[in-house]
Amino acid sequence: MRQKEISNLNLKDIDAKVNELNEKLFALKMSSYVSELENPVQIRNTRRTIARLKTAKTKLSKNLIS
């Protein structure tokens, strides 16, 4: 996900997407332990996307509180 796409989401959507990506990250890590991944960069990209989403969530929640 790009920053433009993330900025269009609300808090519920961000939470759902973070949960979905956490499950995907877990599956990727487990499959990397069992066998070699076709594209090991997927793990890094998924982690970074989760971080972007969490940052956007923090910004949204601070704007709603203020």
**Taking the domains of the chain in order of start, what are their residue ranges?**
3-65
Distance CA 2, CA 18 (A): 14
Cα 61–chain centre separation: 17
- Give pLDDT, residue 66: 57
- Give pLDDT, residue 2: 84
Low-confidence residues in the chain, pLDDT < 50: none
Which of 1.10.3470, 1.20.1730, 3.60.21, 1.10.287 would CATH assign to domain 3-65? Answer: 1.10.287
- Residue 7: helix, strand or coil by DSSP? helix
- Give pLDDT, residue 65: 72
pTM of the entire structure? Answer: 0.90
Rg (the chain; Cα; Å):
14
- Give pLDDT, residue 16: 97
